[in-house]
Copies of this chain bind each other. A is one copy, B any other.
Amino acid sequence: MRVLILFILCFPLIVTAQLNKDSIMIKRMSDEIMNNGKAYDLLRELTKNIGGRLAGSPEQHNAAIWGKVNMEAFQPDKVYFQACKTPNWKRGGKDYAAIVSVNGKPLNKKLEVMALGNSLSSKGLIEGEVLAIADFDELEKRKNEVKGKIVYYHSILDPNEIEAGKAYENAYSYRSDGPSRAAKYGAIGVMIHSLSTASDNEPQTGDMEYNDSFPKIPAIALGPIDAKNLYAQAKKSIIRVQLQTYGYFLPDADENNVVAEVKGTLFPDEIITIGGHLDSWDVNEGAHDDGTGVVHTMEVLRTFKALNYQPKHTIRFVLFANEENGGKGGLKYAELATQHKEKHVLALESDGGGFTPRAIGIGCSTDQLKRFQTWNPLLKHYGTEIVAGGGGADIEPLVSADKNVILTSLIPDGQRYFDLHHAKTDVFENVNKRELLLGAVNIAAFIYLVDQYGVGIN
């Protein structure tokens, strides 16, 4: 009732009868998902039966087949693979690090660690004195002390930052660029504080990238507790650490984006894309990252078909092959879109986890955003509002195919995400069924509105 009153006040552009129709349709979708949703069961299959899915692994290969078979069962107009070459990094062994002496006094304190993704083997056990530094500014100031040492970056996520995702972004460059920036000054290895908000001691992996100009030194993430202890200790003592990593690359792998398509009745050549990425890191089940985005995508397809919704625009439901270490899935999707001269209206990515949805983020002009925000009264009951800023690694390349495409994302509550992101704790048990399903409800509602009313740029 409150929703209907709000319509009248806030929806000048669309007549009330239509809004009532939209409200009813969104409620039908919500009931279908909250009652009969398959997202949670699908996620259990993907995480428990298939498991972690790094590009190049048998699991990732199986996941694509699983995605295709399951989307076919929902009977869209077609389901197909987009073949795609991806990096093929292997961890290669059980990463190891230990403090072996403090101020010359022998010790053997094993540390909880994980090699960073794409990092290379240490080629045996290496040992060095730790140079513990706060940030890149300190690295530059102390560059003459780096040679022959193992640099530790105290890359904690700022606890004062209310948006955990923003704290992650601010610390990200220590993981991605930290190793080469230290190698430039002669470091023999790099350790970082895991980009984690957790109170536990689980290390978190994630992509890093070597600068080819400098030696490719081994790089590991420490568990948060070990990292904080090491940092405190290294400030007042001389600490020596041993570490060993085993990373290597095989020749690029053959993976597949999985694309399901429902043809538009009025604008069959105008495409709306919804997607998440199938791949995950090797150390967990890739439940929140990004199993939940995958099953959100599948659930919206299932729901549209279950309710016999015939979209005006062509809608694509895409499970991207490779996001974590290379982003080759999204690049391939964009490459084919360019090749086929496709017109892309809007794309939405779900890659923020399966937590309670808080917003739909949209990257567009202020005027357009205001227009989208007239839909807020229809979404509010389901927990979201439309806010500025959208995108996602898998859909961003699409701008190269159609510069008018509007990039959007589901924005779930982010407080728990960086507790388990890229850690072994990102497992099915840490996904809540209602939170997961609510994400699909809000994506379905938003995509329905986009399909009905377009994006106002034509």
Where the two chains meet, the residues of A that have a C-beta atom closer than 8 Å to any C-beta of B are: 30-31, 34-35, 40, 159-160, 162, 164, 197, 199, 356, 381-383, 413, 415-416, 419, 432-435, 438, 441
Contact = CB atoms under 8 A, between A and B. Distances in A.
B31 A160 contact: yes
Contact of A356 (B31, B415, B438): B415
9 contacts: A30-B162, A35-B159, A162-B381, A162-B382, A197-B433, A197-B434, A356-B413, A415-B434, A415-B438
B432 A40 contact: no
A171 B159 CA distance: 39
A360 B303 CA distance: 34
Count copies of this chain in the complex: 2
Contacts of A441: 162
Given A197-B434, A199-B433, A356-B356, A35 B415 contact: no
Contacts of A34: 159-160, 162
A379 to B, nearest CB: 11
Contact of A416 (B164, B383, B435): B435
A418 to B, nearest CB: 9
A162 B438 contact: yes
A233 to B, nearest CB: 21
> By CB atoms of chain B within 10 A, which of A30, A381, A383 has the most?
A383
B416 A162 contact: no
A162, A164, A382, A435 interface centre (most CB from chain B within 10 Å): A162
A202 B336 CA distance: 49
The 7 closest A-B pairs by CB, nearest first: A415-B434, A34-B159, A31-B160, A415-B435, A356-B413, A416-B432, A356-B415
- Residue of A40, A413, A434 with most chain B CB atoms under a 10 A cut-off: A434
Contacts of A383: 162
A40 B356 CA distance: 22
A97 to B, nearest CB: 26
A162 B35 CA distance: 11
B35 A160 contact: yes
Contacts of A35: 159-160
A49 B356 CA distance: 31
